[in-house]
Amino acid sequence: MTDLTAKGKATRRRVLGDAHVNRSEAMASDLDAPFQALITDAAWGHVWGRDTISLRERSMMTIALLAGLGNDNELALHIRGTRNTGATQADVMEALLHVAIYAGVPRANHAIKIAKETFAAMAEEDI
């Protein structure tokens, strides 16, 4: 395992949590192994692993980008990740306000719906 891979695995676990990563790894196959290696090294090791901005800031940027592009499943996943990145519900709303202006009100409106549902589910899990 390279240093970048180790850093990527650690960062992914820090942001998304052990339970999610364990489920993802259990579902991995020979078919998607190259893709898993790519995102571990590139996304989690090289980009998320940089120390130039905080995980909170990366989280907010990622949420805005996913919302703007309509990547709903990944959006919910990264909203769940705010538990670990320090991004608050208010931070998420700020990011989604930017989505409304720069990517469109319908995208932001749908993302806000997903955020509300995801935060509500997270609150239920904490009870």
> Domain ranges in the chain?
1-52, 53-127
Number of Cβ atoms within 10 Å of the Cβ of 116:
13
Tell me the pTM. 0.92
In this structure, the chain runs to a length of 127
Q: What is the CATH number of domain 53-127?
A: 1.20.1290.10
- 53-68: per-residue pLDDT in tens? 999 999 999 999 999 9
- pLDDT recorded at residue 1: 80
Q: What whole-number distance in Å separates Cα of residue 97 and Cα of residue 112? A: 9
Tokens of 96: 């989604």
Q: Which residue type, as a one-letter code, is found at position 22?
A: N
User: Could you read off the pLDDT tens digit of each residue along the chain, which spans 127 residues?
Assistant: 899 999 999 999 999 999 999 999 899 999 999 999 999 999 999 999 999 999 999 999 999 999 999 999 999 999 999 999 999 999 999 999 999 999 999 999 999 999 999 999 999 998 7
